[in-house]
């Protein structure tokens, strides 16, 4: 866990203490990194798959501005209801109910799409990969943040078996998404021992 140094001054005595950073700080840091990787600009259309409580959705919405749009998706009804509340306050956010094998994003609607710790939960990854490909504009970018399987950890119920347990090896992730037509742009380490792979939908690969 990242820690922040706080300095307290008590008369002549100065105390330096290390305390954990707030979770929201982590979301901000990760979303800022995504914004750089995916070249977010005002007016862009961004999709988030499995947005959870929408922390990164809100930050992305600020990046794309009033002229842009963030499509935020969820399977879980309770999380979806929360995202709908956010969308009611932020006019450039649109909420979509995802399906098990489909993002339900409009075809060729997004300049970029991202998902964080979602891919290893997919029960129909090939179908979702095809949906991601359809939803991106030509030359659009996809960023997938995930984790290598933890030794001895149970895999997600319903997800395809993979070596190691909970998570998805980046090798398998890359194989599956390149099979769907994507090309790898960049692979890099990510906070909290995760990894991030950025893919591109080249115009010549449109299906």
> How is residue 101 written in tokens?
């094998």
> How is residue 116 written in tokens?
């964080």
Of 167, 171, 164, 162, which is closest to residue 197 (Cα–Cα)?
171
* Distance between start and end Cα atoms, the chain: 42
Helix (H, G, I), strand (E, B) or coil at 30: helix
Cα separation, 134 vs 122, whole angstroms:
17
What confidence score (pLDDT) does residue 157 get?
A: 73
Q: Give every CB contact of residue 22 below 8 A, 6+ residues apart in sequence.
A: none
Cα separation, 162 vs 155, whole angstroms:
8
Of 174, 173, 156, which is closest to residue 165 (Cα–Cα)?
156
What confidence score (pLDDT) does residue 22 get?
A: 56
What confidence score (pLDDT) does residue 152 get?
A: 67
Cα separation, 51 vs 90, whole angstroms:
15
Cα separation, 191 vs 32, whole angstroms:
12
> How is residue 42 written in tokens?
């005002």
| β 110-116/69-74 pair status | unpaired
> How is residue 204 written in tokens?
């010549």
Spatial contact of 94 and 38, defined as CB atoms under 8 Å apart: no
- Domain annotation for the chain: domains and CATH numbers: 23-205 (3.40.50.150)
Note the pLDDT tens digit of each residue in 28-58: 999 999 999 999 999 999 999 999 999 999 9
Helix (H, G, I), strand (E, B) or coil at 143: strand
| β 3-10/13-20 pair status | antiparallel
Q: How far is CA 29 from CA 22, 23, 33, 55, 176, in A?
A: 11, 10, 6, 12, 28
Digits of tens for pLDDT over the chain (207 positions)?
Answer: 444 444 433 443 433 344 344 556 899 999 999 999 999 999 999 999 999 999 999 999 999 999 999 999 999 999 999 999 999 999 999 999 999 999 999 999 999 999 999 999 999 999 999 999 999 999 999 999 999 998 766 767 777 766 567 899 999 999 999 999 999 999 999 999 999 999 999 877 665
Helix (H, G, I), strand (E, B) or coil at 96: strand
What confidence score (pLDDT) does residue 23 get?
A: 59
């Amino acid at each position: 866990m990242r820690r922040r140094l706080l300095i307290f001054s008590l008369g002549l005595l100065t105390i330096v203490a290390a305390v954990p950073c707030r979770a929201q700080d982590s979301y901000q840091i990760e979303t800022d990194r995504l914004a750089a990787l995916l070249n977010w600009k005002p007016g862009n259309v961004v999709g988030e798959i499995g947005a959870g409580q929408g922390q990164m959705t809100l930050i992305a919405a600020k990046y794309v501005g009033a002229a842009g749009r963030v499509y935020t998706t969820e399977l879980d009804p309770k999380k979806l209801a929360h995202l709908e509340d956010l969308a009611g306050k932020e006019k450039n956010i649109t909420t979509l109910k995802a399906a098990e094998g489909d993002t339900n994003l409009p075809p060729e609607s997004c300049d970029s799409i991202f998902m964080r710790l979602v891919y290893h939960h997919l029960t129909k990854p090939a179908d979702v990969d095809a949906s991601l490909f359809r939803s991106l504009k030509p030359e659009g970018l996809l960023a997938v943040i995930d984790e290598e399987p933890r030794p001895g950890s149970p895999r997600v119920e319903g997800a395809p078996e993979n070596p190691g347990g909970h998570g998805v090896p980046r090798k398998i992730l890359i194989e599956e998404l390149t099979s769907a037509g994507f090309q790898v742009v960049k692979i890099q380490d990510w906070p909290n021992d995760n990894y991030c792979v950025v893919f591109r939908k080249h115009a010549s690969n449109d299906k």
